[in-house]
Every structure is written in structure tokens, then in C-alpha cells.
């Protein structure tokens, strides 16, 4: 993927699809106090676990899982995103390649993805490498309008990724009912 042309609007970057990665700057960081979200936790055989509100089961409480569960809680409780239309940690098969996303929010009336969510542990910076990973996933999800990257401290949300370009958002989009 490469930048094709500079834009007058600094929030939009046009990208092509030739799989040659070029530098793409991250947009405006969102101010989301995600790590303050309360989580249901327990210890099982001396290992911490967290209740996954989407999968409805206990899972290992890793740093990345902590961010994922805080973010899911925020999207559902604070933003009104519909929990039944969210899938967590599923694989997408493309030929011989399988991509595993953190969360995917679907459109209400179709089976098309609406927003891809990629989470990282709090000590992993949201870097160009993370951005490129998300762009690879979004490129395989036709119709996926939005994508969100977060490590709990840094969160970035954008719209688009194809020939229409990337538009960085200053807030999370309202779920389209």
C-alpha cells in the first residue's frame, strides 16, 4: 500500500492497493478512558481471568485481553454499540492465509462488517506496523466502513481504506441503526 497523492484535508490520506507499504501517519488520537472501565475478574488455578462480555465465558486476563474487554465495555455501555452484532477473536480465511481479528462489529441489516477493532497490550505503541496490520485486515473486509486501533492509552479511529482514502475521526462514530 502506498500514498498516492497528498490531500488538501489533512485528515484524509489516499492509499493505493499495490501492497508496497509506505509511511502513513496516524491521525488524531481519541481521548477514551478505557482502562477505567470496570471488569469482572477472578483467579482460576492461580491465574487471572476476565469475563468476556461477548463470548460469555471466562478467558485468560492478558494485557491485550484487558484492553479488549475495556474497549468492548466502552463501545457497548458508553456508545450503545449492539453486543449481539460483535464477534471477538475470529479468523478470516483468504486463500492460504488466516487473519485473526480482535473484534468485528457488523451492520444491523446485513452480514457485512461495519467496524474492525484491533487491540494491543498497553505497553505496545500504536505504531505504523499496527496501522499496516489493520489496513491488511480492512482490505480483506469489503464494506467495512470504520476501524479502530487501541492499546488502552492510545486510540485511533478512521473511516475508509480503499481508493477513497483514510479519514481520521476525532470521535467514535455513532452506531448506524
Higher pLDDT among residues 148 and 12, named by residue: 148
Pick from 20-29, 88-97, 142-151, 159-168: least confident:
20-29
Asked whether residue 122 is domain-assigned, the answer is yes
Asked whether residue 46 is domain-assigned, the answer is no
Asked whether residue 94 is domain-assigned, the answer is yes
The mean pLDDT of 115-124, rounded to a whole number, is 94
Asked whether residue 154 is domain-assigned, the answer is yes
Position 93 pLDDT exceeds 80: no
Asked whether residue 72 is domain-assigned, the answer is yes
The pLDDT mean for the chain works out to 81
CB within 8 A of 134, min separation 6: which ones? 116, 118, 147, 149
Nearest CA to 26 among 174, 121, 129?
Answer: 129
CATH classification at residue 23: 3.90.1570
Asked whether residue 175 is domain-assigned, the answer is no
Q: Which residues of 85-98 are buried (b: 16+ CB within 10 A; e: fewer)?
A: bbebbeeeeeeeee
Asked whether residue 45 is domain-assigned, the answer is no
Asked whether residue 121 is domain-assigned, the answer is yes
Domain containing 98 equals 12-35+63-169
pLDDT category of residue 161 using cuts at 50, 70 and 90: low
Domain count, the chain: 1
Structure confidence at residue 1 (pLDDT): 30
Return the percentage of the chain with pLDDT > 70, whole number. 82
Amino acid at each position: 500500500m502506498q500514498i498516492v497523492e497528498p490531500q488538501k484535508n489533512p485528515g484524509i490520506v489516499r492509499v493505493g492497493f499495490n501492497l508496497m507499504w509506505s509511511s502513513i501517519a496516524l491521525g488524531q488520537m481519541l481521548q477514551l478512558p478505557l482502562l477505567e472501565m470496570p471488569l469482572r475478574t477472578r483467579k482460576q488455578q492461580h491465574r487471572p481471568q476476565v469475563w468476556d462480555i461477548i463470548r460469555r465465558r471466562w478467558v485468560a486476563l492478558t494485557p491485550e485481553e484487558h484492553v479488549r474487554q475495556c474497549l468492548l465495555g466502552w463501545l457497548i455501555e458508553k456508545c450503545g454499540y449492539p453486543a449481539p452484532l460483535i464477534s471477538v477473536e475470529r479468523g478470516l480465511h483468504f486463500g492460504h492465509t488466516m487473519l485473526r481479528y480482535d473484534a468485528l462489529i457488523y451492520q444491523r441489516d446485513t452480514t457485512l462488517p461495519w467496524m474492525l477493532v484491533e487491540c494491543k497490550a498497553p505497553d505496545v505503541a500504536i505504531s505504523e506496523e499496527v496501522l499496516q496490520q489493520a489496513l491488511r485486515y480492512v482490505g480483506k473486509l469489503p464494506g467495512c466502513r470504520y476501524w479502530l486501533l487501541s492499546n488502552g492509552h492510545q486510540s485511533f479511529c478512521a473511516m475508509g481504506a480503499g481508493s477513497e482514502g483514510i479519514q481520521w475521526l476525532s470521535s467514535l462514530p455513532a452506531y448506524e441503526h
